[in-house]
Amino acid sequence: MKNKIIALIALSSIFSFSSCSDYLDTEPTSITLETYFNNEKELNTFLNSVYDPMNDASFYGSNYQVIMAQSTDEAYNRAAVNTSTVSSYNGLTSNTDLANFWNRLYIGINRANTLLENIDKVPNLTPNRKNIFLGETKFLRAYYLFLATQWFGDVPLRTKSVTTPSDTHIAFTPQKEVYDFVIAEMTAAEQLLSSQTPGTIIPYQSGRITNTTVQGILARACLYAAGRPINDTKRYAEAKLWAQKVITSGFHKLNPNYEQIFINHSQDLYDAAFKESMWEVEFHADPSNADLREGMNANAMIVPQYNGITPSMGKGLCPVLGTALLYRGYQSYYNPIRSTDLSPDKRRDLNLTPWSYGGGNATTDATKNAVAWNSWWGRWPGKWKRENELVAFNNQSSQNWPILRYADVLLMYAEADNELNGPTVESISFVNQIRARGYGSLMGTNSIELTLTTGGSGYTIAPTEIATLGAVSTEKATIGTTISSGVVTSITMSVPGAYSVLPSTIYLGTPWEASKSYLINTNVVNPNNGLLYRVTTAGTTTAVPPTHTSGASTATSTGAVFTYIGVAATATAVKLTGQLTAAETATKESFKKVIQDERMRELCYEGVRKRDLIRWGILVEKVKEMADLATNGSLERFPNDVQIIQPAQTAGSFRLIAANPGNNIADYWYLLPIPLDEISNNRLSKQNVGFK
């Protein structure tokens, strides 16, 4: 129907942008363009419809995260085995996921064009308000084109709305020209939005475009244009400039608590204090309204719970699992004797949960069950959890989806600066800020690393604990040691602990504590003087620690007897803050590798890894590496972890599924195939090389 836009009210109006803020809410409606655009309210409603495609299940509502952006060295889709899907690098041009994603992009582009063609009809629109509408619309059109060209290469560069069947026939524009248009349009939008800053939208909310949002996405677009396949390297300087504008604006900071970022997404909370989440797709699941349901699909990137409703959570069947490459990318303390593998980087066990849900039904919530310490291929992404949601809704979730975070801006600045100048003090400091947050430093807690200083004397068993003075700890560090002739000869970390105040004195051995029960033959240290005792009679301590230097202590009939055996070994401690080493920042290439790895550790599952690997020219290499590790293990890759060498796989195993993308991928997968619908409906279209 010419010049009409039809609303599908039973599903979700094309003009509905149901968000957690009234700022973007509208009622379902149908319009005729000839009689629309009568006032600013109608203009705002139409602008909301330009935002709306991102909420669709074929876009950020589900498929982008679990299909389009998978599989890489950080994660894989456990459902994608020998099926025609993008996430298995086995997709066909007739694949509906591709077609739906493409269609949502061009629906958004067409709506943006329609608004730009009709904005002058709106009476009494002040110049400033007009600039804001123009800025948001131009940016959104450019963003959709940015996504289209980064995924599909040469694409139709549509700058006019489709009003007749013949308008569908348009030649594809070369990818570099699309990038040039996108960057120019976003640059214009940044100027138009100069008065719409994160400080002018009160209360702060990150669902609406501001000038710093545009600056951050411009940094991303310039980095992509500078990399493969465009290789327009002059864009590195522009990427640095745009990231620098965000940094110097002063509006955004790192939230000291990494986990809180994602709790906020789960609870419709805007981080007004730090504003780290710079742009989110807003979702709102309302069980009471069948017409306005634009929640995130419960089967997207939300940790699974139970396939049905439970007392406090809806279902969640996340199909994405992390990889051993991501898991081993975090610093770890591996102890095969104690069957533990712990990390001072707090992000690891959030991003790769050490538990999985089990059980659960309509009356009982599921429980968390620990996974095996060396289960590296079956860990769920834990950033977004149904348990953090405030309202349980079976099939949909109110979790918001992050498009841009300030941490990404810092990493983009560091990368662009490194390409231009090599490692600089400023860029190293930005990466160190992110790593310090990961290690707990921004919250005032740190893990510790111990170095043996004296071996002590008299040990009968190797100590596994430490006795400290002057420490404030929420989790005590534990150790592994070796002894020879009563002397401690080596020390390794088992649990790095969490300390807000660094221990001033550290002795190796089980600390003496009042009113505590001790087993026979335990090595016990009096932390006040460093004397070492062996428990020769099991029992409970009194309120007075042993201080004698020969023989056995006296005790009541139920008390522990402590026999003096020597002097405790000592160690020194340093806080683990994750700060980069001199070797890591010695050269341009070494620092580039650090940034590449840090982007995976920090931004995993947020939909940027595949595009990163493509622009770095290493997608195929990394996906094949994942397949090799999943199939064969690699003693060379992880020389201290002999258990990573894996046995032959059985059908359906996680590692076999993880290997599948690497078995399928080919060099032409740096682009996606053009959907068959576009090939059929646009006589000027063309298919990407390698696809039929």
Per residue in 598-614, pLDDT (tens digit) is 999 999 999 999 999 99
* Same domain, yes or no: 32 and 168: yes
- pLDDT, tens only, 493-520: 888 888 888 888 899 999 999 999 999 9
Domain boundary among 376, 397, 418: 397
Range name among 222-231, 358-367, 475-484 with the lowest pLDDT average: 358-367
The pLDDT score that the predictor gives to residue 26 is: 40
Q: pTM of whole model > 0.75? A: yes
Higher pLDDT, 634 or 322: 322
The pLDDT score that the predictor gives to residue 285 is: 67
608: in domain = no
Average pLDDT over residues 127-137: 97
Range among 3-17, 194-208, 290-304 with highest mean pLDDT value: 194-208
452: in domain = yes
- pLDDT, tens only, 66-120: 888 888 999 998 876 656 688 888 878 888 888 999 999 999 999 999 999 999 9
Say yes or no to pLDDT of 339 above 90. Answer: no
* Same domain, yes or no: 572 and 622: no
The pLDDT score that the predictor gives to residue 482 is: 93
The pLDDT score that the predictor gives to residue 636 is: 44
| Residue 385: C-alpha distances to residues 156, 271, 523 (Å) | 38, 18, 43
| Beta bridge partner(s), residue 525 | 511, 532
Concatenated DSSP letters of 126-194: -HHHHHHHHHHHHHHHHHHHHHHHHHHSSEE---S---SGGGG--PEEPHHHHHHHHHHHHHHHHHHTT
Type of residue numbered 573:
A
* Same domain, yes or no: 451 and 567: yes
14: in domain = yes
Say yes or no to pLDDT of 18 above 50. Answer: no
Domain boundary among 397, 430, 458: 397
Say yes or no to pLDDT of 623 above 50. Answer: yes
| Residue 575: C-alpha distances to residues 293, 441, 460 (Å) | 48, 9, 30
The pLDDT score that the predictor gives to residue 470 is: 86
249: in domain = no
The pLDDT score that the predictor gives to residue 12 is: 30
Domain containing 461: what range? Answer: 447-576
126 Cβ neighbours under 8 A, 6+ residues apart: none
Q: Maximum distance among all alpha carbons in the chain?
A: 101
* Same domain, yes or no: 19 and 137: yes
| Total domains present in the chain | 3
The pLDDT score that the predictor gives to residue 336 is: 60
* Same domain, yes or no: 348 and 456: no
Domain boundary among 339, 364, 397: 397
Instruction: Band the pLDDT of 141: cuts 50, 70, 90.
Output: very high
Instruction: Band the pLDDT of 19: cuts 50, 70, 90.
Output: very low
* Same domain, yes or no: 527 and 666: no
* Same domain, yes or no: 34 and 112: yes
The pLDDT score that the predictor gives to residue 27 is: 41
Extract the tokens encoding 488. 């401690």
Question: Residue written as tokens 């996906």?
Answer: 623
* Same domain, yes or no: 567 and 638: no
* Same domain, yes or no: 61 and 135: yes
How far, in Å, CA of 467 to CA of 451, rounded? 14
* Same domain, yes or no: 379 and 459: no
Extract the tokens encoding 372. 């095996």
670: in domain = yes
* Same domain, yes or no: 93 and 155: yes
252: in domain = no
Q: How far apart are the first and last CA of the chain?
A: 33
Residues 169, 683 contacting (CB under 8 angstroms): yes
The pLDDT score that the predictor gives to residue 246 is: 98
455: in domain = yes
Say yes or no to pLDDT of 248 above 60. Answer: yes
Instruction: Band the pLDDT of 24: cuts 50, 70, 90.
Output: very low
120: in domain = yes
* Same domain, yes or no: 346 and 480: no
601 Cβ neighbours under 8 A, 6+ residues apart: 326, 329, 330, 345, 347, 348, 351, 438
Say yes or no to pLDDT of 429 above 90. Answer: yes
* Exposed/middle/buried for residue 253 (C-beta within 10 Å: 0-12, 13-18, 19+): middle
